[in-house]
Amino acid sequence: MPAVAAALGLPQPKAQRIVDAFDDFVAKPLEANLKKLRGRDLARRNPMVYTVRGTETVDEWADRVLADRETSAIEAHIGTFLEEVARIVSGGIKPGSGVDLQLVDDGVTRLYAIQSAHNTKNAGARRSDIEALKRAARPLRGHRQPVEMYIAVLSGRAKSAAIRNEPDITVLGSDDFWESITGISDFRSRLLRASTVLSWLVRRRSADEVERIKREARELYGDPDGRLNLDALANPPRLRRASTPTL
């Protein structure tokens, strides 16, 4: 926690909440996924994807398969975690109106629909975000409260700009968004540095399960020297079902 606080430039109570959020939304779900996986399952992904790239040992093959599986899962987990970070550092809330973040600053209510990256939502999803913002703004404006509406892109967008057909809604560049809710101009870069510290939680929670999976894979798909047994890999052994005793 002190290392994360230093990297982000935040007080320790907020840093602790961010560490806890990373554990809850990233490290623990990845550990849970690994607990469901067995060494024999690694062969379900076409082994040729790895052999054509020169993979020869069981451990190297297992590491690459697990990395590919984690990459597809972790993107969604990271998105959820970053949304929570935005609420923690801003002091905002997630209202029940379909909007991801609501802040009140100097008498102005700011509503945000959040997306992880510039290419994570299609036209239909973007339209849903716009409608959610308008729906949340309507009752507030009915009570004569000033409202601003934004779509925040957490990573990968360089500039902010209003939507052409929706001039009341601004799509925020990634650095602009993080600076606006933290007051720290390089907060997005700081988050990246903090992630190298937080990765320890993933390694700690995953280490035992990864070693179990690799041990099972060695028994099924390895030769005595630890190299891939291609015959076994091409024809994975079937799982033996426990027989049901008859009375």
Nearest to 75 by CA among 116, 42, 46: 116
Model pLDDT for residues 48-95, shown as the tens digit of each residue: 999 999 999 999 999 999 998 888 788 889 999 999 999 999 999 998
Which residues in 190-215 are b (16+ Cβ under 10 Å) and which e?
Answer: bbeebbebbeebbeebbeebbeebbe
Question: What phi-psi label fits residue 98: left (phi over 0), alpha (psi between -120 and 50 degrees) or beta?
Answer: left
Q: Say what the pLDDT of residue 56 is.
A: 93
DSSP 228: B
Domain range enclosing 33: 2-234
Amino acid making up residue 153: V
Tokens 């630890």 belong to residue:
226
Q: Model confidence over 33-53: pLDDT tens digits?
A: 999 999 999 999 899 999 999
* 3-class DSSP state of 208: helix
194 assigned to some structural domain: yes
- Does any domain span residue 245? no
Does the residue 244 lie in any domain? no
Pairwise CA distance, residues 101 & 227, whole Å = 51
Measured distance CA(36)–CA(54) in Å, rounded: 28
Residue 239 lies in a domain: no
State what percent of residues in the chain have pLDDT above 70: 94
Q: What is the pLDDT of residue 243?
A: 46
In a domain, 79, yes or no: yes
pLDDT at 97: 75
What's residue 247's pLDDT?
47
194-211 pLDDT, tens per residue?
A: 999 999 999 999 999 999
Establish if 242 belongs to a structural domain: no
Give 133's pLDDT tier (boundaries 50, 70, 90).
very high
Domain tally, the chain: 1
Q: Is 172 helix (H, G, I), strand (E, B) or coil?
A: strand
Res 239: pLDDT: 53
Contacts of 142 (CB under 8 A, 6+ apart): none
* DSSP notation for 128-166: HHHHHHHHHHHHHHHTT--EEEEEEEEES----EEETTE
Round the average pLDDT of the chain to a whole number and report it. 90
Residue 247 domain-assigned (yes or no): no
Distance (Å, rounded) from C-alpha 131 to C-alpha 138?
A: 11
DSSP state of 183: S
